[in-house]
Amino acid sequence: MDNKKEQERNEVHKAIWSIADDLRGAVDGWDFKQYILGIMFYRYISENITNYINDGERKAGDTNFDYTKLSDNEAEAVRDELVKEKGFFILPSELFCNVCKEAKNHKEDLNEILEKVFRNIENSAKGAESEDDFSGLFDDIDVNSNKLGATVGKRNERLTKILDGINSLNLGNYQSNSIDAFGDAYEFLMTMYASNAGKSGGEFYTPQEVSELLTRLAVVGKTSVSKVYDPACGSGSLLLKAAKILGKENVRNGFYGQEINLTTYNLCRINMFLHDIGYDKFDIACEDTLISPQHWDDEPFEVIVSNPPYSIKWVGDDNAILINDPRYSPAGVLAPKSKADFAFIMHSLSWLATNGTASIVCFPGILYRGGAEQKIRKYLIDNNFIDAIIQLPDNLFFGTSIATCIMVLKKSKKDNSTLFIDASKECVKVTNNNKLTDENISNIVKIFTDREDIEHTAKLVSNKDIAENDYNLSVSTYVEKEDTREEVDIVELNKQIDEIVARENKLREEIDKIIEEIEV
């Protein structure tokens, strides 16, 4: 990135921080971010549809055409065509730029205007193929909330400030090919929130560099794929990494994900749009993946990337029919009710294409605990589904210091072995957290790709040896840590001890003399 672009990027980040900081004084925690992201999304789709219409009309010969200045009645003529092509429609009077321009003149009803605009945008997709992608998208932006202010006037004053702040962001334009600025601004805000909100913020956000590593592992050797899937997609950062690494045009049939949290589900859909993923190129569902998966008709998936919640509770064997679910039944046992980790892993494996790769962040306990988890590990190893286990550094994720691991699954391996990688030192320290650099990521991917033994770093272990180790998959079981202790010279050490003892005896003699003098 050149210096000018980097400077512009930093200015955008600084401006977002300023808006968030001002809003945070009134709106606590997660809520403040929803308003900023929601209004940013509103600006994005307004500019998206405006540029799309303007480009078409100007190429047709009307070089001065400007959709923002068209009357609503004139615009209605192209509503159906635009919904079919773009998935939504916005009247000129309801575009972000026009609402923003008039905001100061609506001190008593700006909230009502915004509420109406948001509903109209959602309703424009009703009955169209894009309906599911827009339904309830603005639900979390409560423009009538007391959190914005005790009175309507104060709420509208704060809404005006948010509109002005988002309007002032230098997010570039389509002609300069800088549309990624919207996506970058989103990622910055998510990182800013997660790093300040601790565990609650980190639950639905995977740091960008971890997303990068997971996705690079899953697409090794591929220049294009059919579909990408995340069964616990959060705000969508892992899905979008595939778009960045491969190029969104090289994910031919789109991006699929499922998220149980309604607010995060809405954010994920917004994130797709902000990264210029068309409505017909993503399918995000809101449901419990483990008991109500929503993409049966779309699987299998060539690339699966996921950072599922660690050791959450689930219904498990309290639901008698789950053991017959084709995702879980092959292992002959369900993940424990108190720890759903292997349920996510079995789900991902079941939906993985024969030529596919799944890259999943794991809680370390699942690699060595006994009981049902050991039986599932036995199934995975005996059937040669685990390609690699990678030990990550600690303190990579917001809100937890746990050193997590990555499990890589494949259905068509060339050998009957599992690669163990100790990447715990592949990081740099940034404030209280560790961070993966581009060099760290490249190193890990190279070790993974080369699939060779490296002393103290990597070990290719036969599945037979793993079975003899009771199916223990802890990296430390197979990769011996380097002994960094210095060699001790026993002769020199004894000499130092003798000197210390001699000095101690001399001090005791001096203390005894002082005590004798005092007693006399």
Q: What percent of the chain has pLDDT over 90?
A: 61
- Rounded to the nearest integer, the mean pLDDT of the chain is 88
Secondary structure (3-state) at 289? coil
Distance CA 204, CA 232 (A): 9
Of 3, 1, 2, 13, nearest in space to 170 by CA: 13
The residue ranking higher by pLDDT, 403 or 337, is 337
pLDDT digits (tens, 9 = 90+) for 264-300: 898 889 889 988 899 999 999 999 999 999 999 999 9
Query: Where does residue 87 fall: left (phi above 0), alpha (psi -120 to 50 degrees), or beta otherwise?
Result: left
485 pLDDT band, cuts 50/70/90, is: low
Residue 176 has pLDDT above 70, yes or no: no
- The pLDDT score that the predictor gives to residue 208 is 82
Neighbouring CB atoms inside 10 A of 180's CB total 15
- Residue linked to tokens 């090794």: 220
Cβ atoms of 270 and 118 within 8 Å: the answer is no
Nearest-5° angle of CA 190, CA 191, CA 192?
90
Dig out the tokens for 371 from the structure: 């009981």
512 pLDDT band, cuts 50/70/90, is: confident
Mean pLDDT of 346-373: 96
pTM to 2 decimal places: 0.84
- Residue linked to tokens 């339904």: 135
- The pLDDT score that the predictor gives to residue 181 is 67
Residue 399 has pLDDT above 60, yes or no: no
Q: What percent of the chain has pLDDT over 70?
A: 90
Distance CA 465, CA 498 (A): 49
pLDDT digits (tens, 9 = 90+) for 211-252: 999 999 999 999 999 999 999 998 898 999 999 999 999 999
Tell me, what amino acid is at 47?
E
Burial class (CB in 10 A: 0-12, 13-18, 19+), 119: exposed
Residue 473 is given by DSSP the state: -
Cβ atoms of 436 and 406 within 8 Å: the answer is no
- The pLDDT score that the predictor gives to residue 14 is 80
Give yes or no for a cis peptide into 300 (omega within 30° of 0): yes
C-alpha count within 13 angstroms, C-beta hemisphere, residue 288: 10
Of 341, 419, 482, 165, nearest in space to 157 by CA: 165
497 pLDDT band, cuts 50/70/90, is: confident
Of 126, 137, 124, nearest in space to 76 by CA: 124
